[in-house]
Amino acid sequence: MTKQEILHIRADFPILEEKIYNKDLIYFDNAATTQKPRCVVEKIEQAYYHINANIHRGVHYLSQKATEAHEEARTTVAGFIHAAKREEIIFTRGTTEAINLVATSFGEAFCKEGDEIIVSLMEHHSNIVPWQMLCERKGMKLQVIPINERGELDMEAYRSLLNDKTRLVSIAHVSNVLGTINPVKEIIRIAHEKDIPVLVDGAQAVPHIPVNVVEMDADFYVFSAHKIYGPTGVGALYGKEKWLNAIPPYQGGGEMIATVTFEKTTYNVIPFKFEAGTPDYIGSTAFAEAMRYVQNIGLENIAAYEHELTNYATTRLMEIEGMRIFGTAAEKSAVISFLVGNIHPYDVGMLLDKLGIAVRTGHHCAQPLIDSFGIPGTVRASFAFYNTKEEIDVFIEALKRVVGMLS
């Protein structure tokens, strides 16, 4: 993408004009959440001002308009990840709720004492704890795929962990700490040889690389709107139709039923079976708007530009003495985790903040991974397509100053 195009894009994000302590904001915390383009915020306003009414079964005009918007959003989300059917998209509160849904409902239907679930060392807590809770409930075991020194999955170890007791593999598409893009297609192919389903946590993938759930053959794929320039509080679970039909509802309430009597309740068809209560139909509408915005720029363009930014930042970071980068995988997304010498990551983050630069510090909700390095945490810079090489230059000069002060 050209400089002109990036400037054009930046103009869509009003927050990038903010001054932080009288300094230009440099926002490098995109893996935690992304900023919102004007069209997404305006979509929320328009929806509340012009079509707000509770959805489904309403005979009146506004209810039908709001229902249409929510259901069109489902079609947009399905198209974005190339799902075969729009009914395979369930709106959730986000990635975390989507994983909890599968852990609870799949766990209920298909897991028993002695069974095993496989995750990896680089998972976010939201792809560890729901499985741990399932394991505790059912007397099951969590198995963990180790990683190599570059932060790539040990595929041999993965193969050897799969066995007759394995019920499901749940793996990040892209690590939020290391940036590693995992070979999910290969992971799924290997699991499917043994008829084991795979859930892919796509929270850090959908904003950065093209995703095709049918081509990768994922059984479940989950992500959050707020990490792809959409609103907070909404996300999606993709599930193959056969699985969504085979597992029980996650929550009970309105919308998810077909008939209710005190003797027996029957459930609605998918996707409604998994959307109990009033869904966030305004959020889903804005989520779809964000996806259209991203599609207009083009994920291939985004991936290429962010790759360029990440390589540039990596090269410049290596100018700094004592620099340690965690995650040097051959296939890597727009995330750089690092430490300088023995300087505590919080100190670096706090001083960078005073210079207007937002980075994240700590364990990034991946404590087992951070513990495996024997470190207290990292500083993490994560990029989006509205970031620039000029911002990286300012960041590097600021970091050099901070390191000078703290050394």
Catalytic residue list? 365
Instruction: Work out whether 172 is an interface residue with ligand PMP (CB under 6 A).
Output: yes
| Amino acid (one-letter) located at 247 | I
Instruction: Work out whether 310 is an interface residue with ligand PMP (CB under 6 A).
Output: no
Strands 89-92, 116-120: pairing is: unpaired
Instruction: Work out whether 92 is an interface residue with ligand PMP (CB under 6 A).
Output: no
- Which one of 35, 180, 204, 314 is in contact with ligand PMP (CB under 6 A)? 204
Express the helix, strand and coil content of the chain in percent, nearest 5 each: 45, 20, 35
- Which one of 95, 284, 285, 361 is in contact with ligand PMP (CB under 6 A)? 95
| Ranges within 365-394 binding ligand PMP (CB under 6 A) | 365
Considering beta carbons, is residue 224 or 388 the nearer one to ligand PMP? 224
CA dihedral angle for residue 107, residue 237, residue 192, residue 118, rounded to 10 degrees? -50
Please identify which residue in the block is written with the tokens 């394991």. Answer: 135
Instruction: Work out whether 333 is an interface residue with ligand PMP (CB under 6 A).
Output: no
Residues 6+ positions from 361 with CB-CB distance below 8 Å: 345, 346, 348, 349, 377, 378, 379, 380
Instruction: Work out whether 176 is an interface residue with ligand PMP (CB under 6 A).
Output: yes
Q: In whole angstroms, how close is the CB of 283 to ligand PMP at the nearest point?
A: 12
Residue 81's nearest CA partner among 196, 199, 218, 189 is: 218
Q: Can you read off the two tokens belonging to residue 102?
A: 């599968």
Q: In whole angstroms, how close is the CB of 166 to ligand PMP at the nearest point?
A: 21
Q: In whole angstroms, how close is the CB of 23 to ligand PMP at the nearest point?
A: 26
User: Does residue 391 contact residue 20 with C-beta atoms inside 8 Å?
Assistant: no
Instruction: Work out whether 203 is an interface residue with ligand PMP (CB under 6 A).
Output: yes
Q: Is 222 helix (H, G, I), strand (E, B) or coil?
A: strand
- Hey, how many other C-beta atoms are within 10 angstroms of the C-beta on 389? 14
Q: In whole angstroms, how close is the CB of 7 to ligand PMP at the nearest point?
A: 28
User: Does residue 201 contact residue 178 with C-beta atoms inside 8 Å?
Assistant: no
Q: In whole angstroms, how close is the CB of 69 to ligand PMP at the nearest point?
A: 22
Q: Which stretch binds ligand PMP (CB under 6 A): 36-44, 68-76, 200-208, 397-405?
A: 200-208
User: Does residue 181 contact residue 209 with C-beta atoms inside 8 Å?
Assistant: yes
Considering beta carbons, is residue 51 or 369 the nearer one to ligand PMP? 369
| Ranges within 111-170 binding ligand PMP (CB under 6 A) | 124, 126-127
Considering beta carbons, is residue 35 or 67 the nearer one to ligand PMP? 35
Binding stretches for ligand PMP (CB under 6 A) = 94-96, 124, 126-127, 172, 176, 201, 203-204, 224, 365
